[in-house]
Structure 1
Amino acid sequence: MIVGVPREIKSWENRVAMTPGGVEALTRRGHTVLVERGAGLGSGLTDEEYEAAGATLTDAAGAWGAQLVIKVKEPLPEEYKYLREDLLLFTYLHLAAARDLTDAMLASKVTGVAYETVQLPDGSLPLLSPMSEVAGRLAPQVGAHHLEKRQGGRGMLLGGVPGVPPAEVVILGGGVVGINSIKIAVGLGARVTVLDINHARMQYLDDVFGGRIVTMNSTEANVREMVMKADLVIGAVLIPGAKAPHLVTRGMIAQMKEGSVVVDVAVDQGGCVETIYATTHDKPTYVIDGVVHYGVANMPGAVPRTSTFALVNQTLPYALKLADKGLDALRESAPLRLGLNTFGGTLTCQAVAEAFDLPCCDAAEALA
Structure 2
Amino acid sequence: MLVGVPKEIKNHEYRVGLTPSAVREFIEHGHQVLVETNAGAAIGFSDEQYVAAGADIADSASKVFADAEMIVKVKEPQPNECKMLREGQTLYTYLHLAPDPTQTELLVESGATCIAYETVTDNKGTLPLLAPMSEVAGRMSVQAGAHFLEKAHGGSGTLLGGVPGVAPGKVLIIGGGVVGLNAAKMAIGMGADVTILDRSLPRLQFLDDIFAGRVKTVYSTVDAIDYYASKADLVVGAVLIPGAAAPKLLTADHIANMKEGSVVVDVAIDQGGCFETSKATTHQDPVYIVDGVVHYCVANMPGGVARTSTMALNNATLPFGLALANKGPVQAMRDDPHLLNGLNVHKGKVTYKAVVDALGKQLNLDYVAPLDALSL
Structure 2 CA distance, aligned partners of 1:294 and 1:93?
Answer: 21
After superposition, where does 1:169-180 map in structure 2 within 5 Å? 169-180=171-182
SS at match of 1:292: strand
Structure 1 CA distance, aligned partners of 2:256 and 2:171?
Answer: 18
After superposition, where does 1:45-84 map in structure 2 within 5 Å? 45-58=45-58, 59-65=60-66, 66-84=68-86
Q: Does 1:346 align with 2:342?
A: no
Q: Does 1:317 align with 2:346?
A: no
Q: Does 1:285 align with 2:292?
A: no
1:72 is matched by which residue type in structure 2?
V
> 1:17 — aligned with what?
17
Structure 1 CA distance, aligned partners of 2:69 and 2:176?
Answer: 39
> 1:241 — aligned with what?
243
> 2:40 — aligned with what?
40
SS at match of 1:69: strand
Q: Does 1:188 align with 2:190?
A: yes
User: 5+ residue gaps in structure 2?
Assistant: none
Shift of 1:62: 1.6
> 2:371 — aligned with what?
364
Shift of 1:177: 0.3
> 1:27 — aligned with what?
27
Structure 2 CA distance, aligned partners of 1:124 and 1:211?
Answer: 26
> 2:255 — aligned with what?
253
> 1:328 — aligned with what?
331
> 1:214 — aligned with what?
216
- Post-superposition CA distance 1:24-61 (Å, at most 9, x none): 11111111100000001122100000000000000211
1:48 is matched by which residue type in structure 2?
E
- Post-superposition CA distance 1:107-126 (Å, at most 9, x none): 11111000000011321101
> 2:299 — aligned with what?
297
Shift of 1:356: 1.1
Shift of 1:285: 0.2
Structure 2 CA distance, aligned partners of 1:53 and 1:134?
Answer: 27
Structure 2 CA distance, aligned partners of 1:42 and 1:225?
Answer: 44
User: 5+ residue gaps in structure 1?
Assistant: none
Shift of 1:355: 0.7
Structure 2 CA distance, aligned partners of 1:104 and 1:295?
Answer: 25
After superposition, where does 1:56-205 map in structure 2 within 5 Å? 56-58=56-58, 59-65=60-66, 66-205=68-207
Q: Is the 8 A contact 2:74 2:94 kept in 1?
A: yes
SS at match of 1:95: coil
Structure 1 CA distance, aligned partners of 2:350 and 2:123?
Answer: 22
Name segments (4+ residues, structure 1) moved above 3 Å. Answer: none
Q: What do you get for the CA RMSD once the two structures are aligned?
A: 0.7
Give the TM-score, by structure 2 length: 0.97
- Post-superposition CA distance 1:89-108 (Å, at most 9, x none): 00000001111000111111
Q: Is the 8 A contact 2:90 2:113 kept in 1?
A: yes
Shift of 1:130: 0.3
1:168 is matched by which residue type in structure 2?
K
SS at match of 1:212: coil
2:175 is matched by which residue type in structure 1?
G
Structure 2 CA distance, aligned partners of 1:136 and 1:364?
Answer: 34
1:241 is matched by which residue type in structure 2?
G
**Identity rate, percent:** 55
Structure 2 CA distance, aligned partners of 1:143 and 1:85?
Answer: 43
1:38 is matched by which residue type in structure 2?
N
Structure 2 CA distance, aligned partners of 1:78 and 1:152?
Answer: 36
Structure 2 CA distance, aligned partners of 1:204 and 1:179?
Answer: 10
